[in-house]
Structure 1
Amino acid sequence: MDEFLAARMQMGVSLGFHIVFACIGMVMPWFMFVAEWKWLKTNNPVYLDLAKAWAKGVAIFFAVGAVSGTVLSFELGMLWPTFMEHAGPIFGLPFSWEGTAFFLEAIALGLFLYGWNRLNKWVHLYTGLVVGIAGVLSGIFVVSANAWMNAPAGFDWVNGQAENIDPVKAMFNKAWLAQAHHMTIAAFSATGFAVAGVHALLFLKNKLEIHAKAITIALSFAAVAALLQPISGDLAAKNVAKLQPAKLAAFESHFKTTNRAPLIIGGIPDVENEDVKHAIKLPGFLSFLAHGDFNAEVKGLEEFPREEWPPIPIVHYSFQLMVAIGMFLALLGVIFLAGSFKWKHWLGKKWWMKLLTIATPLGFIAVEAGWIVTEVGRQPWIIYGIMKTRDSLTPMPGIQYTFYTITAVYLLLSFIVIWLLSRQIKVLQSKYLSHD
């Protein structure tokens, strides 16, 4: 493994690990907030136990997310020093705001965890709300920094140097809004289905009230998010078509510039022959996805130098996987909403619980696939159209060893988190089973 591949793999592993905890950190506080609010409204102690159990989970994920996020920030400077030399003064503003949101989240979470029976009950409730708001803002600020890499703004690039820097314009670049809403909705969908899936599995073993209520709260968020996600994805795709047409072409393995471009479902990209084999093609749908017009022209990869093409198969398969999972989760969202308002007997059936169990990891797989599409689809650029990733690589040797070390550490952390969560679940289970 050469230094360049090792550096990219290290960033990929670090981001892939961190993004799971970032999503959970954005969403889980909303679940514990709703659970406590339901307890205050109904005085049902099951909601109180659920709020306390989820709060402990939030604390675990917050701690690991903070560590992995810090590692990522160090890796930017360690692995890509040329990038940070030029980009740091430009897109540092969202990182500073992310730090502010992080500190606010940490303070509010501390008050929530240690404020039981010490704070006024409504004050305590709203500290949980602050944790949720700060978590979402933290995620949006980081996504804004990533969006700048896809749509650089707020500076003039003159003779290899950034001049006339405007940090506010850089932060609110043309890609930030599309990426922010798409990522935020994805986080609610992925985390909601994961939490519901875990409780569905536990409900199949022991039909306890606490699991039924947990599923309802988690799916109330996840179902709405899953139904909004296709709309968000459509807006995001149109934004990519405008700002990064080569990336859009890679999504669909669209090699030739054509009018009434087909949307490709599945298929195996043949880069050498510039074709996609064994695919289902829907005429005009890619034109509509990209430009809102079934007859519009969509640029193909032929419009760009071949050395500027991203790795087509990786991007194509990741995009297909993301969309397929998104549609499946949207279907589950429809079933849940239909069951909630009309066919309530559906939601207690074994087949429904098994579907939720199957869906447990799918949202996060879609999130990972989406980040592969975003990051690999931008290649070979680290700053789109301005600086190539290879040109930013550190001259430091031995990156392979840091990659191996980081991977091992993250695997160890994953096992520790699973063990801690399993222990919390067992404690909760034993309390209710002993009552029976």
Structure 2
Amino acid sequence: MDDFFAARSQMALSLGFHIIYACIGMVMPFFMAVSHFRWLRTHDVVYQNLTKAWSKGVAIFFATGAVSGTMLSFELGLLWPQFMEHAGPIFGMPFSLEGTAFFIEAIALGFFLYGWNRFNPWFHWFTGVVVGISGLASGILVVAANSWMNSPAGFDYVNGQYLNIDPMAAMFNRAWLSQSIHMTIAAFAATGFAVAGVHALMLLRGKNVVFHQRAFAIAAAFGAVAAILQPLSGDFSAKDVAKRQPAKLAAMEALFQTEKPAALVLGGVPDEKNQRVDYAIKVPGMLSFLAHGNFQQEVQGLDRIPRADRPPVLVPHFAFQIMVGLGTFLMAVSALYFFALWRKKAWLRSKWLLRLFVAAIPLGFIAVEAGWTVTEVGRQPWIIYGVMRTRDAVTPMPGIQYSFYVFTAVYLVLSFLVIFLLSRQIQMVPKLYDRPDRPLQPVLA
């Protein structure tokens, strides 16, 4: 393994690990706030205990996300010093604001966890809402920094120098809005389905039915709404990418030749050597419509991109197909769920619907990982699109593969630790019942 590949692999591992915990940390506080609100309004002790159970999960994911995020920040300087030297002063503002949001989130979470029976009940609830808002802001600010890499702004690049730096223009670049919306909705969909699926599994096992029914209803509502909205944000993102990064769109769709009109490619295996896609289903004119809102519009292919500037095709294409396929499945499950709420309430107690949610537990996060793969691999060979190549930014320090091995081991340990803590937390819930069909008794903080 050469150092360049090791550096990219380590960064991919770190981002792939951190994004899961970041998504959960952004979203679960809102589940917690809803159940807490219902406890305050109804004084139903099931909601109180659900809030406390979820707050412990939020604390676990917050701690894990803090560790992985800190490691990620060190890796930027360790692996990509040339990038940080030039880019740091330009897009440092969203990172500094993200640090502020992180500290607010940490303080608010401390207030919430230790504020039971100590604060005014509504102020205590408000601290939980602040946890969610600050976590969401933190995620959006990080995405703003990443979007700058896809759409550089806020500086003039003259003779290899970065001049006239404007941090605000860098933060609010042309890509930040579409990426932020798409990532935020994806986080709600993935986390909503994962949490709902866990509670659906407990319902299938007949354990603590009242508790898990309430939890399932809250999580499924968030996840289903997000999954139905996601195609709209995806369309917004696709049109934005078509304007700013035509090479990425061509790689996503395995569009080797410029077409007018351009067909949408479903599935298929790209053959980069022969510049074609095998075993694909093509929908005439649909890519033109999705990219430009016109069935007859020309879509630029890789043939118009200099060979040295072309991204790889196989990985972005497969990742894009996975993301869209899983998103479509989650949207279909969401439609069934809302139809059940509207006309077929008996379905809500059916095993087949619960099994669909159980099957969907990992799918939202797989789609998130696939989406980030499209974003990062589709930008290659650039680390700053059109300005700095990834190979030029990597550290000259040798032995990066050993760093990759160490970080991999750390992330594996963290993963096992989180799984252990969460499984223990889930197993503790039944101990709060006298019988599975009886409501929870109050639990002290």
Normalising to structure 1: TM-score of the pair? Answer: 0.99
Match of 1:24 in 2: 24
1:228-272 Cα offsets, whole Å, 9 max, x none, are: 000000000000000000000000000111111000000000111
In structure 1, C-alpha distance between the alignment counterparts of 2:403 and 2:48, rounded to whole Å: 44
The CA deviation at 1:434 is 4.9
1:132 corresponding residue in structure 2 = 132
Match of 1:6 in 2: 6
**Are 2:227 and 1:226 equivalent residues in the alignment?**
yes
Distance in 1 between the 2:367 and 2:133 partners?
A: 24
Report the 3-state secondary structure (helix = DSSP H, G, I; strand = E; otherwise coil) of the residue aligned with 2:162.
strand
Give the letter for the 1:126 counterpart: F
The answer for the alignment partner of 1:193 in structure 2 is 193
Find out whether 1:167 has 2:167 as its counterpart.
yes
1:332-363 alpha-carbon deviations (Å, 9 max, x no partner): 11111111122111111000111110000000
Q: Equivalents in 1 of 2:324, 2:436: separation in Å?
A: 44
Runs of 5+ unmatched residues, structure 2: 438-445
> Would the aligned equivalents of 2:323 and 2:368 in 1 still touch at CA under 8 Å?
yes
Number of positions where the alignment pairs a residue of Structure 1 with one of Structure 2: 436
1:235 matched residue in structure 2? 236
Cα offsets for 1:363-421 (capped at 9, x unmatched) = 00000000000000000000000000000010111100110111111011101101001
What's 2:379 paired with? Answer: 378
Q: Which residue of structure 2 lines up, in the alignment, with residue 94 of structure 1?
A: 94
The aligned amino acid for 1:13 is L
Q: Deviations over 1:25-70 (max 9, x none)?
A: 0000000000111111121111111100000000000000011011
2:388 maps to which residue? 387
Amino acid at match of 1:160: G
Q: Matches of 2:342 and 2:130 in 1, distance apart?
A: 30
Query: Is residue 148–residue 175 contact of structure 2 (8 Å, CA) maintained in 1?
Result: yes
- Cα distance in 2 between the residues matched to 1:324 and 1:73: 32
Distance 1:202 1:415 in 2: 21
Equivalents in 1 of 2:13, 2:231: separation in Å? 27
TM-score, scaled relative to structure 2:
0.97
What are the superposed Cα offsets for residues 96-129 of structure 1, whole Å, 9 maximum, x if unpaired?
1101111111111100000001011111111111
* Partner Cα distance (1:435, 1:57) in 2: 22
Deviations 1:308-332 (A, max 9, x none): 2112100000000000000000111
Structure 1 Cα separation of the partners of residues 307 and 144 of structure 2: 29
- Name the CA shift for 1:429/1:260 in 2 (closer, same or farther; >3 Å): same
1:162 aligns to what SS in structure 2? strand
Provide the secondary structure at the position in 1 that maps to 2:433.
Answer: helix
CA distance in 1, matches of 2:194, 2:433: 22
* Cα displacement (A) at 1:432: 2.3
Give per-residue Cα distances to partners, 1:70-108, cap 9 Å, x unaligned: 111111111000000000000001001101111111111
Supply the distance in 2 between the matched residues of 1:92 and 1:432 (Cα, whole angstroms): 50
Corresponding residue for 2:151? 151
Aligned-partner Cα distance in 2 for 1:274–1:435: 60
| SS of the residue 1:281 aligns to | strand
Aligned twin of 1:253: 254
* 1:435, distance to aligned residue in structure 2 (A): 6.3
Structure 1 position 324 matched with structure 2 position 312: no
SS of structure 1 residue aligned to 2:395: coil
Query: SS of 1:379's equivalent?
Result: coil
2:279 aligned partner: 278
Asked if the contact 2:154–2:165 (Cα under 8 Å) also holds between the matched residues in 1, the reply is yes
**How far apart, in 1, do the equivalents of 2:307 and 2:432 lie?**
62
Aligned-partner Cα distance in 2 for 1:259–1:236: 21
CA deviation profile, 1:121-180 (whole Å, cap 9, x unmatched) = 111111111111111100000000000000000000011110000000000000000000
Structure 1: unaligned runs, 5 residues or longer: none
| Structure 1 letter corresponding to 2:95 | F
Could you say which residue in structure 1 is the equivalent of 2:428?
427
User: Aligned with 1:90: secondary structure?
Assistant: helix
- SS, match of residue 311 in structure 1: coil
CA contact (8 A) 2:206 2:436 kept: no
Question: How big is the alpha-carbon RMSD for the aligned residues of Structure 1 and Structure 2?
Answer: 0.8
For residues 306 and 351 of structure 1, what CA distance do their matches in structure 2 show?
Answer: 50
Amino acid at match of 2:2: D
Match of 1:402 in 2: 403
Between the aligned residues of both structures, percent identity stands at: 64
d(CA) in 1 for partners of 2:412, 2:37: 36
Distance 1:42 1:214 in 2: 15
* Residue matched to 1:73: 73
Q: Partner amino acid for 1:3?
A: D
Partner residue in 2 for 1:301: 302
Q: Structure 1 pair 38/255, CA: closer, same or farther in 2 (3 Å)?
A: same
CA distance in 2 between partners of 1:432 and 1:298 (Å): 60
Is the CA contact (8 Å cut-off) linking 2:36 and 2:125 kept in structure 1? Answer: yes
Q: Measure, in 1, the Cα distance between the counterparts of 2:41 and 2:139.
A: 30
The SS at the match of 1:116 is coil
- Deviation for aligned residue 1:433: 5.4
Task: Look up the SS of the partner of 1:59 in the other structure.
Answer: helix
Q: Is the 8 A contact 2:266 2:281 kept in 1?
A: yes
List 4+ stretches of structure 1 deviating above 2 A: 432-436
